[in-house]
Amino acid sequence: MSNIEQNIDNQNLVNNWQQVSKQLTDACNHVGRKSESVVLLAVSKTKPADMIATLAKQGQSHFGENYLQEAIEKITMLKEQPECDGIFWHYIGSIQRNKTRDIAEHFDWVQTVERDIIAKRLNDQRPAEMSPLNVLIQLNIDNEESKSGCLPDQLPELIATIKGYERLQLRGLMIIPAQADTNAFARTKQLFEEIKQRYPELSGWDTLSMGMSGDMTEAIASGSTMVRVGTAIFGERD
Ligand SMILES: *Cc1c(COP(=O)(O)O)cnc(C)c1O
């Protein structure tokens, strides 16, 4: 790609990001929330490291990745760049048991914890010199057989276990609802608040990750505190 093409490309990326940021602010204003109450997670899977660096320079600080090998390459590369120093990396892909060490050593957040065996390994493998790993439980809110996530029935037991792990900080819930379920955001918000009441000792319980490119406005209206946006910022993926 020529320098000129690269510049136009970067300008598109920055425009998209500004538009999504504005959509977030508008969605908040519309329901009387402060825009600081919702974190924008830029989902950069399959996209090159220089796009991440471009947005980091604009002030975007949370990035989400799904594919471990690809993510570690980008994280390692961007560590060298001062303007990428403040990035928070979120792992949002499915977690294989033999990959927990790589996740524990490279990420600040993991949003896809659904079983105790995975949580325990992440806790044991989180390096002592790093701060506790921020964890969201992925909830299978629609009880879909094909989908990953902890079933609603099993949630209390999983929370009770994870809150005892010292190297993990349990922050909340993440969902990917079924498309037809128009009321999943509201039900998850309700559950999120019930858990907060029931476990006052969960001091870090503050994050409800729901909403993507196509439904972030609805998610924010229902109380989302983190939207995960890929396509609307970075364009279609191959
Ligand atoms: C890819 C992905 C996203 C982003 O989806 P878009 O529709 O591209 O915004 C959000 N959350 C998870 C878990 C993903 O895997």
- The band of 1, judged by pLDDT with boundaries at 50, 70 and 90, is low
Over residues 85-131, the pLDDT tens digits come to 999 999 999 999 999 999 999 999 999 999 999 999 999 999 999 99
- Give the distance (Å) from ligand 1 centre to CA of residue 205: 23
Instruction: Kindly report the protein residue whose alpha carbon is nearest to atom 11 of ligand 1.
Output: 228
Q: What is the pLDDT of residue 4?
A: 76
Q: What single-letter DSSP state applies at residue 131?
A: P
Task: List the helix and strand counts (H, then E) for the chain.
Answer: 9, 8
109 — alpha (psi -120 to 50), left (phi > 0) or beta?
Answer: beta
Q: What is the pLDDT of residue 5?
A: 77
Label residue 164 exposed, middle or buried (CB < 10 Å: 0-12, 13-18, 19+).
exposed
Q: What is the pLDDT of residue 201?
A: 93
Mean pLDDT, the chain, integer: 96
Q: What is the pLDDT of residue 8?
A: 74
Whether 60 contacts 42, CB under 8 Å = yes
Start-to-end Cα distance in the chain: 18
Q: Does the pTM exceed 0.95?
A: yes
Token pair 């990917």 in the structure block, residue: 176
- The band of 180, judged by pLDDT with boundaries at 50, 70 and 90, is confident
Q: What is the pLDDT of residue 238?
A: 86
Whether 220 contacts 35, CB under 8 Å = no
Residue 132 pLDDT > 80, yes or no?
A: yes
Please report the sign of the dihedral spanned by the C-alpha atoms of residue 22, residue 24, residue 26, residue 32.
negative
Ligand 1 atom at minimum distance from 111 CA: 13
Residue ranges around ligand 1 (CB below 6 Å)? 43, 45, 66, 92, 176, 212-214, 228-232
Angle at the Cα of 88 (from 166 to 200), degrees rounded to 5?
40
- The band of 227, judged by pLDDT with boundaries at 50, 70 and 90, is very high
